[in-house]
Structure 1
Amino acid sequence: MERSNVIYLVPDIEDKMHAINASDIEGLIVAETYENGEPGYDTVTTKCKDGYEMILSPAGTIEQRFDRAIWKNKYFEV
């Protein structure tokens, strides 16, 4: 499989930006809202040389940056 040239910039919960190659994205989990009304965190799971990395992002980040029509097979609902 050919490596992608598309890079996504994704913020984590500490506002640090992560450059992620599209080929490394394994899963996108949209935040759930808890019973008290507080939102959880979006999670981007990526492959890295040591295994996998999970980046926690503010709720809404995935829907803003990853078009569901393109990434539908990577979206996971919890």
Structure 2
Amino acid sequence: MEFGIEDVPPSDPAPWEHEVALGRCFAADRVAGLPARVVIYRRPVEARAEGRQALRDLLREVIVEHVAELLGRPPEIIDP
């Protein structure tokens, strides 16, 4: 699994995204040789968090949510 950071999400949101995405996950593509990836969008995360502790908490929440999605597990299992 790889983790990456981009400044902002692409301008083409997924159909189910009704607000600015804080991150996205991409399943592994074995044909293309790409590992599973989690991308965090820095500016939306910073804009939503109020203070350093809130930023840490939000980053943790976004990462756990996407890792759980890739692993097919509830977030509570990934980070009890």
Determine which structure has the larger strand proportion and give its number. Answer: 1
Determine which structure has the larger helix proportion and give its number. Answer: 2
Scaled to the shorter chain, the TM-score interval is under 0.3
